[in-house]
Amino acid sequence: MTTTRFAWTSVFVAAATLMAPVVHAKTFKWSSASDIPTLDIHSQNNALGNGVHASIYESLVYYNSKTFKPEPQLATSWKLINPSQMRFTLRSGVKFSDGSVMTPEDVIFSINRSMAKTSNYAVFAQGIDKVVKVDANTIDIMLKGPNPVLLNQLTELRIMSKAWAEKNKSVEPKDIRTPEESFAHRNAMGSGPYMVKEWQPDQKLVLVANPNYWGKNPTNVTEIVYTPIKSAPTRIAALLSGETDFVLDPSTQDLARLRSNSDIKVLDGAENRTMFLGMDQYRDELPGSSVKGKNPLKDQRVRKALYQAIDIAAIKRVTMRGLSENTGTLIAPQVNGWTKKADARFPYDVAAAQKLLADAGYPQGFEVDFACPNNRYINDEAICQAVTAMWARIGVKAKLRTLPLVTYFPMIQRYEASIYMLGWGVPTFDALYSLQSLLRTVGAGGDGNYNVGRYSNPQVDAMIERVKVETDLVVRNQLIEKALVLANEDVAYLPLHNQVIPWAMRKNVEVIHRADNRLDWRLIQVK
């Protein structure tokens, strides 16, 4: 058998200078259902926020929006010194938006900050032991062992000014589980093409061109105005009237009308985001449940009953209007490690679900808390309402409560939900990101950082630890498949579907649709 290996060859790539001139400066006005949760780049790992942060702050490397291969950003080149040491040459002449020069100390500080106890980004620093300065233009990332996805991880570790953080008492990231705010939560200072002019949470975020940006930004957009609009009809009305130029999340029921409008265009694309339901498998008794003295969700038969009671075909047909791809696993097909075997679903079968509940000792079902966001994912609240009705057929009375993004995520991370909805995109395009975040027993270094149902299986943990360091791609992907299959057999989660993302915009707007559902700010054109 031929063995494929990750290539750790030296890479010396000079970043292409972006030469297109800025002509006829434009404002880009866009909207979606929810606001970003914070401006702190190491606080809450949220896709919408991460996408916005990328316009203000930069990382050592970033994905090319057409190839999705990491390319130089704040680092111009890199090479593997040995399996546990990667050397990066830093770009010269980079300034933060206040005019101060970026130094190796800023890079070291930022990566260390991402690993702080209050950070939600430790998963991206997985495998990093320390970062050391070599000289004024060079740093070494020292690893605990081989890390085949280090470059992918670094795309999400953005760089902050050490002096600015120290001056403004923001050395530690804001803890999203608490209401306390830091200066970096509401303010920002990065090296990206834009800087924050104004942020009024839940109302408006205004970004303007950074006069100290090191590159030549090819877009003609000099101002970006983001307006969160929870109401789908209101978002669409704003687009149709020209009040906004772009809607990130048009409702499925509006798409036919938008596609038929000559002033509007719709871009469709599959997102690498999987929707699923998680369950508290840790507590001995669930708060608010009708079952006292024990937790029914600890029983695999109960979890499987909830799974088999979900008519996923109906959700795709009615709730999603075809804009979803049913799944049986926690990663999408665009993610390394996905296989058909891991993606197999348990069949929809109400009778089988009822029998499983009866066998588990709940022939009449039970009451249980069920939490959902109402402005984060496509039709999130409607999906949860549909699932609630389906569970009622087998006697499970889910007490549904819905919350906006900004309060929902801190709540679930405080372990305050018995059953919850989560959508998980994969910025690294590698399954380890999902395995470590969702299936690994909660621990240090990003392990289980979004495993808020606290699922734990020592066999799965052992496989994940091997995946972290395995450089043989064939062996590594076999381990990923085994871990995903075992988690499915355990019914660690209730997988639903992978999102298909339509973007709606005025006809004069040009963007590139990305599988991570974020805009590339450098490539927007408003004609």
Residues 465 and 127: their CA atoms lie apart, in Å, by 10
Q: What is the DSSP string of 303-343?
A: HHHHHHT--HHHIIIIISTT-EEE-SSSS-TTSBT--TTTT
Q: Please give the sequence-ordered ranges of beta strands (E in DSSP) within 389-478, or none if there are none.
A: 396-403, 419-425
- The pLDDT score that the predictor gives to residue 25 is 83
**Cβ neighbours around 161 below 10 Å, total:** 25
CB 204 within 8 A of CB 29: no
Measured in degrees and rounded to the nearest 5, phi and psi for residue 313 equal: -65, -40
Residue 396: strand, helix, or coil: strand
pLDDT digits (tens, 9 = 90+) for 207-216: 999 999 999 8
pTM: 0.82
Integer CA distances (angstroms), 343 to 11, 16, 348, 497, in order: 35, 39, 15, 11
- The pLDDT score that the predictor gives to residue 107 is 98
Measured in degrees and rounded to the nearest 5, phi and psi for residue 207 equal: -115, 145
Domain with CATH 3.10.105.10 in the chain: 272-499
CB 194 within 8 A of CB 224: yes
CATH superfamily of the 272-499 domain: Dipeptide-binding Protein; Domain 3 (3.10.105.10)
Residue (of 408, 354, 335, 350) closest to 377 by Cα position: 408
CATH superfamily of the 24-228+508-526 domain: Periplasmic binding protein-like II (3.40.190.10)
Task: Kindly state the helix (H) or strand (E) to which residue 199 belongs, with its residue range.
Answer: strand 194-200
**One-letter identity of residue 257:** R
In our burial notation (b when 16+ CB lie closer than 10 A, e otherwise), range 287-324 reads: eebebeeebbbebebbbbbbbbbbbbeebbeebbeebb
- Which residue stretches of 82-172 are H helix? 104-114, 150-154, 162-167
**Cβ neighbours around 225 below 10 Å, total:** 18
Domain with CATH 3.40.190.10 in the chain: 24-228+508-526
Measured in degrees and rounded to the nearest 5, phi and psi for residue 231 equal: -75, 120
Residue 466: strand, helix, or coil: helix
Regions of the chain short of the pLDDT cut 70? 1-24
